[in-house]
Structure 1
Amino acid sequence: MSPFSLEGKVAVVTGANTGLGQGVAEALAKAGADVVAVGRTPPADTEAAVKAAGRRFHAISADLGSIEPVGRIVQETVDTLGGLDILVNNAGIIRRADAIEFTEADWDAVMDVNLKTAFFLSQAAAKHMLKNGGGKIINIASMLSFQGGIRVPSYTASKSGIAGLTKLLANEWAAKGVNVNAIAPGYFETNNTEALRKDESRNRDILARIPAGRWGDPSDLGGAAVFLSSRAADYVHGTILPVDGGWLAR
């Protein structure tokens, strides 16, 4: 069997109804994994893509602005599909405002989804994985895990936190068979970047700095997700893998 095969694996992908999460879920399914999609809205397109790849699919409705659903997500996954081998913490939100005017509500909303729930869902998944021979956890970081950005203070803080958390969890769980790594997407065509792409000057400036000369498509994230989910990455721990069209090389 190919070291990149995910045949027989069960993957949970949060925020899989659209954008990056949908691209990751489809790629994992094409590599052989059954997929559980977690989010607030019905993931009809993701379901169709996973089933077209010949894999089982299950949707769990949950608001990840709270840690309340995390235990249910893990238990329902195991009960429905028989296990949990891969967790992709993709769900995330963003709020934009100048730092001088940023509100506590916007700070808390972003930190709760992007960092707090990602940690506690990782914890819940790891409790299962550690008892069952190991697993793979992939966090979705950002270019702002490396850079400061502008007008997104809570997003930058949360994604910097994700980078640190990835390394901490790898330190604790690597010897126990659980790989924890992160993917740092560059500028992708998603709902979170719609405002940037509609701003003519910002869009022009961003494209001028990307060596690849284009915004990323969610499908561009698939290869990295499959690699970090597979046996090919068994000795990869605590890494943050940029998939950015060369942005950080500039």
Structure 2
Amino acid sequence: MSQLCVVFGGSRGIGRAVAALLAEKGQRVVVVSRNLDAARAAAASLPGADHVGLNCDVSSELDVQRTFEQILRECGNVDYLVNASGINRDALLARTRPEDMVSILHTNLLGTMLTCRASLRSMIQNRGGAIVNIGLIRTDMTAALDEDVLKGAVPLGRFGEPREVAHAVHFLLETPYVTGQVLLVDGGLRLAS
């Protein structure tokens, strides 16, 4: 029986690669994005059937609650949650506006916490589940970064690709005895620091 996988940030980048791999593996996927049209288009492009696209602003507690209520009502209990949504306001700290700092914190940190909390009720009812929160990899969100400088710091000499992270996510979701772990998918970057 297929699992219900909710992928926040599933309309592009790492989230889209994760959603595609999970669908290829026969899972039902709910693609969640701020943009409803993008979420629906991403869900429609997935192999298999019964995929859904929804919109949600993860920085809003009420929006997260509404989205999970809709998921429970229309799709059932959540088995897997993947948080791949995030924003980047790349600038020097001295030039970063306070409202941009708040926006980053609300989306990247608070949003992850809100979606994790909202999914727990389903996972408790299912007596299990898995949550994966994503780290930095090459996507259109990181395109503004100086790639040559950053690649020089990675022992493998290249950025990882979203599909490589998707395989790590799939491993974590499908291996329930691996719990409470941080899996670094960084080409050895931490080893070099």
- For normalisation by structure 1, the TM-score amounts to 0.71
Aligned to 2:156: 212
Distance 1:82 1:63 in 2: 21
Match of 2:143 among 171, 194, 203: 194
Paired residue type of 2:148: R
Q: Name the CA shift for 1:249/1:80 in 2 (closer, same or farther; >3 Å).
A: same
Match of 2:169 among 225, 233, 236: 225
Asked whether the equivalents of residues 86 and 107 of structure 2 are also in contact (C-alpha less than 8 Å), the reply is yes
Match of 2:43 among 39, 42, 47: 47
Q: How many residues align?
A: 190
- List alignment gaps of at least 5 residues for structure 2: none
Q: Does 1:239 align with 2:181?
A: yes
Q: Match of 1:56, SS?
A: coil
Q: Does 1:63 align with 2:57?
A: yes
- Encode CA deviations 1:167-225: one digit per residue, 9 max, x unaligned: xxxxxxxxxxxxxxxxxx4x41x1221111xxxxx322222222222222211111111
Distance 1:29 1:228 in 2: 16
Distance 2:158 2:81 in 1: 29
Asked whether the equivalents of residues 18 and 165 of structure 2 are also in contact (C-alpha less than 8 Å), the reply is yes
- For normalisation by structure 2, the TM-score amounts to 0.90
Aligned to 2:28: 34
Task: Return the offset for 1:105.
Answer: 0.3
Aligned to 1:171: none
**What CA RMSD, in Å, does the superposition of the two structures yield over aligned residues?**
1.7
Distance 2:155 2:40 in 1: 34
Q: Match of 1:241, SS?
A: coil
Distance 2:152 2:23 in 1: 34
* % same residue: 32
Distance 1:49 1:24 in 2: 13
Aligned to 1:95: 89
